Structure 1
Amino acid sequence: MKRILIAAALAAAMPLAVAAEAAAPVTTVSVKLPTDPLLVQINQVALERVGPKRAVVESTGPAQAGRYRVLAGGKVVAQGELKALPEFSAWGAGKRYFEVDFSAIEKAGAYRVEATLGNKRALSAPVPVRDQALFTTIADKTLDYFHRSRHTGKGDSRIRIFETDRFVDVHGGWKDAGGDTGKYLSHLGYANFFNPQQTSMAAWVLAYTSHTSADLYRRAGLLKRAENEAFWGADYLHRILDAEGYFYTTVFDKWGDEKAERMVVGYEGEDGKYTQLYRSAYRAGGGMAIAALARASLLAKQSGRQGEFNGATYLADAVKAFDHLQQFNAQYTANGVENIIDDYTALMAAVELFNATREPRFLDAARLRAESLMGRQTAAGGFISDGGSRPYYHAVEAGLPVLSLTHYLAIETQEARRGRATAAIASALKHEIAITQRVSNPYGYARQSFQLAPNGKAEGSVMEGFFIPHKNETGYWWQGESARLASLTTAMAVASRQLGTGMPEGWAGYAQSQLDWTLGRNPYGISMLYGFGKRNPPAVPSSAGDMFAGGISNGITGAVGSDTGEDIAFGPGPDGEQWRWVEQWLPHSAWMLLAAVEIAR
């Protein structure tokens, strides 16, 4: 996820390999948009038996209309006229777009979509359709991905804290990404508004889903493996909790630089400059680490199992860290001012502590954070990141503000407060759909509001676009947004259940479109979920590291050189920059697993 210092050979986008191991590097080429005159792009991994099922047809030919057939085992099960979509040229001129909606088919099976325009005919990749399709298809390999991403080296058993003579044991946890053996609760803290929840989010997702969806895992024969991985994460969080009550944010060595000392340290910028910002604020992973430990305590109680440490220890850690951050959080931020990420991660921490203890003080804390978060909401439903006018946009967890409010709603008993939270959730999700539908958008890709940061600070007019702007506060960091998309799907799924409305049609289509993009229904026809689908990202071991089945690549971005993230790109290089598109990263698989579980529920 960070700048990889060693340039590498770039592989061509390659067909699905049966083996889960990393493929060897091959000839250096660039991954370009397909030039076929007719293409049918579809989710290549799994679609739910009851739910949206759509294919996008791209044509460069002269035909204005055409027909489609839906095939199952070579038999035609549905057919009709292609639905023409509005003109769209943001990702290249000269194409016409059509849609095939086969949502009415609710029989389990494997389906392909065939499109005919003029004298051209194209056939989609196959997609399996069944109940709980995404979970039953990916959960096994997703757990494999986490297990294979474990950091098992002995060196972290005694490493130094930056600018001190203290040595600590911080072994365990997960390697952050395919090309990075560092361990991060969060990074980008110096930029204030870009903190992603990394190791802490993975630990919470594994503990939360293992606890609340034990039957789902049990029926798949995966429960013990899920619990083991959850406890592995909780044990690491225990080790990185300092005696004073704060978590260590990163274990870092400048992305494997042999000249750099691996230590507990903060860092900033593309060159990985070491800093003292190693104490985790809520927004730097501290909030979700507390949530993960609190939930792990519940999992230990329910399962009668534990990791190296027990459930009582996990809960004591969570309480200690929460009490500490309630006092010192602002001091641990880069600018000394809390923002929206502190609100929604602290809200998750308070909610999970209340779930684990039922102590009223945690409900009180949750109420304060929920009010602060909702106070940042605009009349249109979006959120403001700071105390001014910077819109909230996030390349990794755009759905987490709403998700935190849905979890808060589950513990709130006062009707007036429940009403405010319910209205805020509905307004936020309507805003997401509205901004996405504001322009022609054949793939239904979630759009976002943002400001550019030409001088390191977001300023100027509020803009809208598909991809995160490249000229942002981090100074260098932008990449594909697989995690962001899955987070929005998760928010839609959980909110629909919590609000008791069922999934409205517009919400369901939006939620499915985000997953479809990652799973192959995109202009490149690539499934970012390695080991699944007809075509996977290239293997670039030296630049993006290991590629494991169940891991998810960063994904598609705006064009290189576009400050605003306009146009579209996947893997154009240079080789040392391939991490932006190809590298697998913990948050992607964490959010995808959470989405799969919530949909299955």
Structure 2
Amino acid sequence: MTRLPHSRKTGLHMMAALAMALAPLVQTGVASAQTSAPATTVSVSLPTEPLLVQINQVALERRGPKQAIVEYAGDAGEGTYTVLRDGKPVRNGALRPLPPFSEWSLGKRYFSVDFSDAEQAGLYQVDVRIGKQHATSAPVQVRDHAVFATTGAQLLGYFHRSRHTDEADRDLPIFQTSRRVNAWGGWQDAGGDKGKYLSHLGYANHFNPQQASMAAWALAYGAQARKTLFAAHGLQTQIEDEAFWGADYLHRILDAEGYFYTTVFDQWGTPGAVRMVTGYEGAAGTYTTLYRSAFRAGGGMAIAALARASMLAKQTGRHGEFNGTTYLADARRAYEHLRKFNPQYCADGKENIIDDYTALMALVELHNATGEQRYLDDARERAASLMARQAVDGGFISDGGSRPYYHAAEAGLPVISLSAYVDIEPEQARRQRALDVIALALKHELAITNAVANPYGYARQRFQLTQNGKAAGDVLEGFFIPHRNETGYWWQGESARLASLSAAMVIGGRKLAENGTAGYGLPDEPARYAQSQLDWTLGRNPYGMSMLYGFGAKNPPTVLESAGEMFLGGISNGITGAVGSDTGAGISFAPGPDSEQWRWVEQWIPHTTWMLFAVMAMSEAAESAASDSRP
């Protein structure tokens, strides 16, 4: 979802900006009519009200953490709160002060209201008074399977609305070859980008996000392994259709030699640019020959997706244009190819942590689909390589040196991949080694997040700044991804990263916890961490904005010039560090100019993918925890 610099924006984009529409303000789950406006610029600043009550605006689990954050700019002392259910008071008390915090705005004090023990379903609000100031939160639905039940149909619908069906993609050239191939289908990558990506940013080596291949896997996994959940909400046929749509696309972009095409690209719709199978790099979108997907460039998750789709086809007797036997043959062939040639497809010729955890996911799913020992043997090697990258404090190292692992889209995937490996490993000693690594990794996530005052519980991260094109120098910590990084220009909101960490805490934590009672079968601190990451995206943030379009009291604006269409069920990139901060310190959301608004406003396929996966995990864990508690 990279974008051209402002100097390269075209008249077409400027005309689109003139037609820009303001985003609708919507109630939970029900979108209102969109209002057009002639404005050509959009700028969103932090709210200036002296008293604000920020809350998840979409849904909270009946048996799970529930917390509102109060921001106050004033001189009065203590305050009080009242929790309302369906408009009626159900409890009240004194606000709990939080540690002083000035990272994002000076002169404010922060308080919290915890109503986790309010377990009766209903529509909740939190009403707060401090001195002469009075404020009430947005409403939030409390129920079982909360976010999944409330948003699941539209999260799935986002993928259908994002399908790419241009017939021209049936006959595309491959960069610097005379060949033409059928790369039809799949999903457009983002609201303003009709390109299709298994992964991008490969030239930067440590930034590859799993894009269309991750979506195809999450959908196939949900349809096959979480069938009961989707069927209970009337969504089974819908998710099966979308899973097979993704698998069919992966079949088409699997070259006869055994590698996947990484991107279908046209320089973000630049007039005159030829749409083709190609690699690219930099803010200018310069075409390159790096179009063969390494494990880390989407190849690993594509193999995992096809293997899981083969299991889905076997389970249901259904399939897409191609059948389950074909999907599994594709997965086998692609793995054997990458097993031999993967380093050649890496921009720097060296595997790193992303190769490890994506290859591990591929091997787990191949073993699940076939039961063959050779895939377990290779999975053990990949798991060992991944675990060897863990530092003594639990964080991971990206490379063979000292570069810390940080990722703007999938920071939870190392733990998720190891958790998947645990499920196929029959030897107790090997299982325990993986569980120990998971435990230490999750402990690190909690420790770094809680190391400083952090009223919203936002997941912090460790990183280095770029020097001469490579990460170097002191290892730093902060809330948001650094703006001075190896890509040279790419940074954006981290909705996908937060959901991936939430999923990792639930999935990994459930393998470690015994009779946790704070939500999702977890102890208190992990449960709150998992909830806080989703709460941020769903409205409990300093802007009071739900990034999930069509849900919540306020959504991001539409900025057609650089962020494109807004689909119901799509999730915007989100909040970042302040513009101009190399380290990503401070805070910013959609400050303009409009040509840069993609960094905050644009919807991107990994965000909805990871949100759907996280709420699947939470719903499964909530149901399992409820079962564990029954006599």
Deviations along 1:239-258, one digit per CA (max 9) or x if unpaired, are 00000000000000000012
What percent identity do the matched residue pairs reach? Answer: 67
Shift of residue 26, structure 1, vs aligned partner: 4.4
Q: 1:570 is matched by which residue type in structure 2?
A: F
Aligned to 1:208: 221
**What amino acid does structure 1 have at the position aligned with 2:333?**
K
- What's the offset of the Cα at 1:497? 2.6
Structure 2 CA distance for aligned equivalents of residues 90 and 166 of structure 1: 53
Which amino acid is the alignment partner of residue 229 of structure 1? Answer: E
Does the 8 A contact of 2:175 with 2:277 survive in 1? yes
Give the aligned partner of residue 598 of structure 1: 617
Which of 570, 579, 587 is the equivalent residue of 2:598?
Answer: 579
Instruction: Return the alpha-carbon distance in structure 2 between the equivalents of residues 24 and 302 of structure 1.
Output: 47
Equivalent residue in structure 2 for 1:527, among 528, 543, 546:
546
**1:19–1:80 CA distance, 2 compared to 1 (3 A):** closer
1:504 deviation in Å?
A: 1.6
Deviates more, 1:214-223 or 1:474-483: 214-223
Listed as ranges, the matches of 1:420-431 within 5 Å are 420-431=433-444
Does 1:492 find its partner at 2:499? Answer: no
Pair 1:584–1:379, CA change in 2 (3 A): same
Asked whether 1:324 is paired with 2:334, we answer no
The 3-state SS of whatever aligns with 2:562 is helix
| C-alpha distance in 2 between matches for 1:63 and 1:44 | 27
Q: How does 1:349-428 map to 2 (within 5 A)?
A: 349-428=362-441
Q: Residues 246-301 of structure 1: CA distance to partner in whole angstroms, max 9, x if unpaired?
A: 00000000000121110000000000000000000000000000000000000001
Q: Do the aligned residues in 2 keep the contact of 1:20 with 1:548 (CA within 8 Å)?
A: no
The amino acid of 2:426's aligned partner reads: T
Alpha carbons 2:367, 2:373 under 8 Å: kept: yes
Asked if structure 2 preserves the Cα contact closer than 8 Å seen for 1:445 and 1:517, the reply is yes
Secondary structure, counterpart of 2:474 in structure 1: strand
Taking structure 1 as reference, are residues 21 and 151 closer, same or farther at Cα in structure 2, changes over 3 Å only?
A: farther
Q: Secondary structure at the match of 2:484?
A: coil
Q: State the AA in 2 paired with 1:448.
A: Q
Pairing of 1:504-543 with structure 2 (within 5 A): 504-543=523-562
Residue 72 of structure 2 corresponds to: 59
Is the 2:21–2:35 Cα contact (8 Å) retained in structure 1? no
Report SS of the residue matched to 1:206.
helix
2:111 maps to: 98
Could you tell me how far apart the structure 2 residues matched to 1:433 and 1:19 are?
36
Do the aligned partners of 2:24 and 2:35 also contact (CA within 8 Å) in 1?
no
Do 1:481 and 1:554's aligned partners in 2 also have CA atoms closer than 8 Å?
yes
Which residue of 2 is the match for residue 172 of structure 1?
185
Q: What is the deviation of 1:303?
A: 0.8
User: Amino acid of the residue matched to residue 64 of structure 1?
Assistant: G
Q: 3-state DSSP class of the match of 1:121?
A: strand
**Per-residue Cα deviation, 1:434-474 (whole angstroms, up to 9, x for no partner):** 00000000000000000000321000000000000000000
Partners in 2 of 1:477 and 1:562 — Cα distance?
13
Long gaps (5+) in structure 2: 515-520, 621-631
Contact 2:493 2:576 in 1 (8 A): yes
2:25 matched residue in structure 1 = 15
Aligned-residue Cα RMSD (Å) equals 1.3
Q: How do residues 542-553 of structure 1 correspond to structure 2 at under 5 angstroms?
A: 542-553=561-572
1:84 aligns with 2:97: yes
CA distance in 1 between counterparts of 2:286 and 2:32 reads 35
Partner of 1:138: 151
Per the alignment, do residues 22 and 170 of structure 1 end up closer, same or farther by CA in structure 2, a change over 3 Å counting? farther
Q: Return the letter of the residue paired with 2:606.
A: P
1:116 equivalent in structure 2: 129
TM-score, length-scaled by structure 1: 0.98
176 and 245 in structure 1: CA distance in 2 versus 1, 3 angstrom threshold: same
User: Which segment is superposed worse, 11-20 or 349-358?
Assistant: 11-20
Are the counterparts in 1 of residues 262 and 293 from structure 2 also a CA contact under 8 Å?
yes
My pick for the range that moved more, 333-342 or 74-83, is 74-83
In the TM superposition, what is the alpha-carbon distance from 1:64 to its structure 2 partner? 2.3
Task: Quote the Cα distance in structure 2 between the aligned partners of 1:389 and 1:24.
Answer: 51
Question: Aligned to 1:395, what secondary structure does the other structure show?
Answer: coil
* Contact 2:496-2:611 at 8 Å conserved across structures: yes
Q: Superposition pairs for residues 207-226 of structure 1, below 5 Å? A: 207-226=220-239
Q: What is the rounded CA distance, in whole Å, between the counterparts of 1:165 and 1:22 in structure 2?
A: 46
Tell me the amino acid that sits aligned with residue 560 of structure 1: V
8 Å Cα contact 2:87/2:124 also seen in 1:
no
Partner residue, 1:262: 275
**Structure 1 stretches lacking a partner, 5+ long:** none
Residue 160 of structure 1 contacts residue 166 of structure 1 at CA under 8 Å; is this kept in 2? yes
Amino acid at match of 2:287: Y
Q: Give the C-alpha shift of residue 16 in structure 1.
A: 2.1
Higher mean displacement: 13-22 or 37-46: 13-22
User: What does the per-residue CA deviation read over 1:208-249, in whole Å, with 9 as the maximum and x for residues that have no partner?
Assistant: 011011111111111001000000000000000000000000
How far apart are 1:21 and its partner, in Å? 8.4
Equivalenced residue count is 601
CA distance in 1, matches of 2:437, 2:208: 23
Specify the code of the residue in structure 2 equivalent to 1:586. Answer: I
Say whether residues 1:554 and 2:573 are aligned partners: yes
Report how far residue 87 of structure 1 moved. Answer: 0.4
Residues of 2 paired with 1:25 and 1:215: CA distance?
44
Q: Distance in 1 between matches of 2:567 and 2:24?
A: 14
> How many Å apart are 1:22 and its aligned residue?
7.1
Change (3 A) 1:26 1:40: farther
1:247 paired with 2:260, answer: yes
2:463 corresponds to: 450
Distance of aligned partners of 1:24 and 1:364 in 2 relative to their CA distance in 1, 3 Å threshold: farther
Deviation, structure 1 residue 25:
5.3
- What is the CA distance between 1:425 and its match in structure 2? 0.2
By how many angstroms is 1:75 displaced? 1.2
| Aligned pairs for 1:18-33 within 5 A | 19=31, 24=36, 26-27=38-39, 28-33=41-46
Map 1:33-44 → 2, pairs under 5 A: 33-44=46-57
- Amino acid of the structure 2 residue aligned with 1:111: Y
How many Å apart are 1:500 and its aligned residue? 4.9
1:544 is paired with a residue whose SS is coil
What is the letter of the counterpart of residue 544 of structure 1?
A
Deviations along 1:495-541, one digit per CA (max 9) or x if unpaired, are 12333533121000000000000000000000000000000000112
CA contact (8 A) 2:42 2:590 kept: no
Aligned counterparts of 2:21 and 2:391: Cα–Cα separation in 1: 45
Match of 1:311 in 2: 324
Q: 1:11, CA displacement in angstroms?
A: 6.2
Supply the AA of the counterpart residue of 1:45: V
**Which residue of the partner structure matches residue 300 of structure 1?**
313
Partner of 1:128: 141
Quote the Cα distance in structure 2 between the aligned partners of 1:12 and 1:31: 12
Which one-letter code corresponds to 1:187 in the other structure?
H
Structure 1 residues 149 and 24 mapped into 2: Cα distance closer, same or farther (>3 Å)?
farther
3-state SS of 2:89 partner: strand
Alpha-carbon separation, structure 1, partners of 2:248 and 2:37 = 36
Letter in structure 1 aligned against 2:608: S
Letter of the 1:479 counterpart: Q
| Partners of 1:154 and 1:92 in 2: CA distance | 50
- 2:287 equivalent among 257, 268, 274: 274
The residue that corresponds to 2:623 in the other structure is: none
Task: Report the secondary structure of 2:467's partner residue.
Answer: coil
